[in-house]
Amino acid sequence: MAKPNRDGRKTVCRELRESIGAEKVRDDEITLVTYGRVRHGFDFMWPFRKPSLVVFPETREDVVETLKIANRYKFPITSVGTAPIMLGTTEGGIILDQRRRDRVMEINTDSGYAVIEPGVSFDKLTSALRGTGFKCSVGTMPGPGTILGQALGRGSQSFTTRYLNVILDLEVVLPNGTVFSTGSSHFDNVGSHLRYGPYPDLAGLYTCGYGAMGVITKAAIRIHPVNEASKIHFAGFNNYSDAIDYVKDLINNNIPEHTFIWNWHMYLTWPLAPSDMETVMPQILESEIKKPPEGTPYNMVSSLLSGYKEQVEVYENICAKVAQKYHGRVFSEEEMEKRFPATMAGFRQQYGDFHYRESVHWSKGRFVGWYVFAEPKDMKEIEKFAVNEFEKFGKTINPVNYYSHPFDFGRSILLRISGFPDPSDTELRGKIAKKFNEMYDVALKKYRAVPIRPIGSKRAGTYMVVLRSIKKALDPNNILNRDSGLFEEGEL
């Protein structure tokens, strides 16, 4: 689809400034160039695309007016919670950046949810929840990242082993200005405690919708009680298969609140502080992923145990018993502190302060990741396959980090495996992108995996026929996030 013309841009810019205020609409070159560049090293996947305008709404009404004007002139618009971290910016379109809409509107400790605007960060909500007896899922995101951005993309969410998603209710604006709620708040004076019913689950349409079906202006998300006692339990395993069996056993018996499987590259480097980079990183960069040092487990499983003090003590004993059953070894907090101090600091921050500790090398534009969901027995084979494929790149992408996270009581397992190539090596990054596509094909066809992000609509068959019909009904002019990757070029 052709990019908007210059005359159309001037008209849209003028009407937006008249409607919502000139200070909320930017078209200066510095802003446009900044928003055209995708950050965190993903440029090889998402090329530079300079928008025509960047809009900073401050109210829901600002969003409504922006969408109505964009729709009237069939002007493409990309909505984000906070930029410039985005996917698929449309060349010459509008960026709708809701960073200024960052209010925590309600904390409901009776039903266990918080109502937030799209710009609310993990840091902001965790701060607002202090003293309430509740916590939010912090996910594998730095504190300034937006909660809604990750939740809508179905990223991993810490403290939610028992759920697949944290979203309960969404407020959505359509291109024609229609505003509606997806959950129980669609009834007047009713709260957001129920995700759906007696009508269909419309929130699901916007999860993994990447803004292509409507713009989210408010959300209710799950919050979780901080129990009387909590403890992090650690068990090491020599192989991933045993770690999966251990985690499944614990979850099936309703033991952990949350559990993660980490490979040794990851649990050693994920929480590194700058002072640790000089000592730990050189060793990891030269090491082979399949050969951890003597006494270092190939996989470490961290489990958050919580409840009354008496419960937690019983849970610890059960974890030790089950770890032994699957050939694992328990690591005490004292041993973890002595052998892996940076790792312990990261876990304490995540489970004690409810704040994800993003390691230094993750923030330097080097991260490239491959993600899939699968059933537990299939994931055992996928892990072997993925590690072998990453190993073919040698030390050029070390450290090779992965974690596995069970969802919905272990019915589905997420594997996120990442490498850290030199961001200036465009040839290598191109090879990695090609390899990832090949890996997705194998994972889908041979191992029954499901990708976490869109990888081509043709793979989804008649599902996409229905989804395209819904998209055309909700957004007939195809202005919303049309380069997000949900639909392929020319499909709409």
For residue 205, what is the domain's CATH number? 3.30.465.10
Q: Does 371 share its domain with 430?
A: yes
For residue 329, what is the domain's CATH number? 3.40.462.10
Q: Does 33 share its domain with 66?
A: yes
How far is residue 71's CA from residue 272's CA, in Å, rounded to a whole number? 47
Q: Does 212 share its domain with 281?
A: no
Q: Does 269 share its domain with 138?
A: no
Mean pLDDT on 143-162: 76
Q: Does 219 share its domain with 234?
A: no
Does some domain include residue 267?
yes
Q: Does 265 share its domain with 376?
A: yes
Largest Cα–Cα separation, the chain:
71
Does some domain include residue 460?
no
Q: Does 84 share its domain with 115?
A: no
Does some domain include residue 135?
yes
pLDDT higher than 50, residue 295: yes
Q: Does 249 share its domain with 378?
A: yes
Express each pLDDT in 301-313 by its tens digit.
999 999 999 999 9
Residue 97 three-state SS: strand
Does some domain include residue 1?
no
Of 175, 198, 225, the one marking the end of a domain is 225
Residue 249 three-state SS: helix
How far is residue 301's CA from residue 256's CA, in Å, rounded to a whole number? 11
Mean pLDDT on 33-47: 60
Express each pLDDT in 308-331 by its tens digit.
999 999 999 999 999 999 999 999
Does some domain include residue 20?
yes
Residue 215 three-state SS: strand
* pLDDT category of residue 48 using cuts at 50, 70 and 90: confident
Express each pLDDT in 168-222 by its tens digit.
999 999 999 999 999 999 999 999 999 999 999 999 999 888 899 999 999 999 9
* pLDDT category of residue 455 using cuts at 50, 70 and 90: confident
Does some domain include residue 177?
yes
For residue 12, what is the domain's CATH number? 3.30.43.10
Helix (H), strand (E) at residue 221: strand 215-225
Q: Does 189 share its domain with 219?
A: yes
Does some domain include residue 475?
no
How far is residue 52's CA from residue 7's CA, in Å, rounded to a whole number? 11
Of 81, 99, 117, the one marking the end of a domain is 99
Going along 6-162, which residue ranges are E strands? 25-26, 53-55, 77-80, 94-97, 104-108, 113-116, 134-136
Residue numbers of the domain that contains 219: 104-225
| Across 41-55, 56-70, 397-411, 457-471, least confident range | 41-55
**How far is C-alpha 206 from the geometric centre of its chain's CA atoms?**
14
Q: Does 114 share its domain with 91?
A: no
Q: Does 296 share its domain with 431?
A: yes
How far is residue 221's CA from residue 116's CA, in Å, rounded to a whole number? 8
Q: How far is CA 67 from CA 71, 208, 326, 329, 467, in A?
A: 6, 21, 55, 56, 21
Does some domain include residue 486?
no
| Across 3-17, 149-163, 419-433, least confident range | 149-163
Express each pLDDT in 227-249 by its tens digit.
999 999 999 999 999 999 999 99
How far is residue 103's CA from residue 60's CA, in Å, rounded to a whole number? 12
- 302 within 8 A of 391, measured Cβ to Cβ: no
Count: domains in the chain: 3
Of 99, 117, 134, the one marking the end of a domain is 99
Q: Which of 245, 231, 235 is nearest to 311 (CA)?
A: 231
Q: Does 43 share its domain with 182?
A: no
* pLDDT value for 151: 86
Residue 192 three-state SS: coil
Q: DSSP per residue over 104-138, as a string?
A: EEEEETTTTEEEE-TT-BHHHHHHHHTTTTEEE--
